[in-house]
């Protein structure tokens, strides 16, 4: 499996491109649901751009030391949202579709829990891998070789508060030595 490394600048540019793609489609939606953790940043930016409410569905399916072992998906008990009800035209966002299992199961979960409110759901991701069993409605990059995507925030999965504090202490010592 090849690797794809994404910088913060690339990441934010792709979110903006996704927003434009959704906007230019002309689809009128009234709720964004992001799948956390991967879709949090995307959902946050899209809800600000479109000025729509954001709901969060916490999911987990990856584990292991590098968070690269796919397992069974776990869902939160409910959505976290600030509106009394879920909108009826829902944009479901995540960072990527790998196998597509998480996105597909999330759509089923939403339909079972909130289907009474929902007339239409569409999906949006930054990266759509060829190995996915589901094709998102909106995506920026189609990845035929199914690379492992290294996103800029992944460093925090390997860095604890103690290591972070140590890195700041080292940086401050280095800065102080420049002026001695």
Any idea which of 1-5, 27-31, 131-135 has the lowest mean pLDDT? 1-5
User: Can you tell me the mean pLDDT for 114-142?
Assistant: 96
Q: What is the DSSP string of 112-128?
A: HHHTTT-SEEEEEEEEE
Predicted pLDDT at 111: 95
109, part of any domain: yes
The residues near 118 (Cβ < 8 Å, ≥ 6 apart) are 86, 87, 88, 89, 90, 110, 111
| pLDDT > 80? residue 162 | yes
> Structural domain of residue 7, as residue ranges?
3-154
pLDDT, tens only, 134-145: 999 999 999 999
161, part of any domain: no
Predicted pLDDT at 73: 80
40, part of any domain: yes
The residues near 125 (Cβ < 8 Å, ≥ 6 apart) are 18, 93, 94, 95, 96, 97, 103, 136, 138, 139, 140
Predicted pLDDT at 137: 98
- The domain tally of the chain equals 1
22, part of any domain: yes
Cβ–Cβ under 8 Å, residues 77 and 30? no
Model confidence at 175, pLDDT cuts 50, 70, 90, reads low
Bridge partners of residue 70, in order along the sequence: 62
Cβ–Cβ under 8 Å, residues 164 and 18? no
117, part of any domain: yes
CA 166 from centre of chain: 29
User: Greater confidence, 110 or 179?
Assistant: 110
142, part of any domain: yes
* CATH label of the domain that carries residue 131: 3.40.50.2020
Predicted pLDDT at 131: 94
Cα distances (Å, whole numbers) of residue 77 to 57, 82, 94, 102, 110: 9, 16, 19, 16, 11
**Rounded Cα–Cα distance for residues 179 and 173 (Å):** 10
**What predicted TM-score, i.e. pTM, was given to this entire model?**
0.85
48, part of any domain: yes
């Amino acid at each position: 499996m090849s690797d794809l490394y994404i910088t913060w600048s690339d990441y934010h540019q792709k979110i903006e491109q996704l927003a434009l793609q959704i906007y230019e489609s002309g689809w009128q939606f009234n709720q964004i649901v992001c799948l956390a953790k991967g879709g949090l940043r995307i959902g946050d930016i899209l809800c600000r751009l479109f000025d729509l409410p954001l709901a969060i569905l916490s999911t987990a399916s990856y584990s292991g030391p590098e968070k690269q072992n796919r397992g069974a998906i776990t869902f939160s008990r409910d959505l976290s949202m600030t509106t009394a009800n879920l909108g009826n035209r829902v944009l479901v966002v995540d960072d990527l579709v790998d196998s597509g299992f998480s996105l597909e199961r999330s759509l089923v979960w939403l339909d079972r829990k909130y289907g009474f409110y929902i007339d239409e759901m569409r999906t949006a991701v930054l990266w759509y891998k060829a190995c996915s069993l589901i094709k998102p409605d909106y995506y920026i990059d189609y990845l035929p070789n199914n690379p492992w995507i290294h996103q800029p925030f992944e460093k925090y999965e390997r860095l604890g508060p103690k290591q972070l504090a140590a890195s700041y202490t080292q940086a401050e010592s280095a800065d102080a030595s420049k002026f001695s």
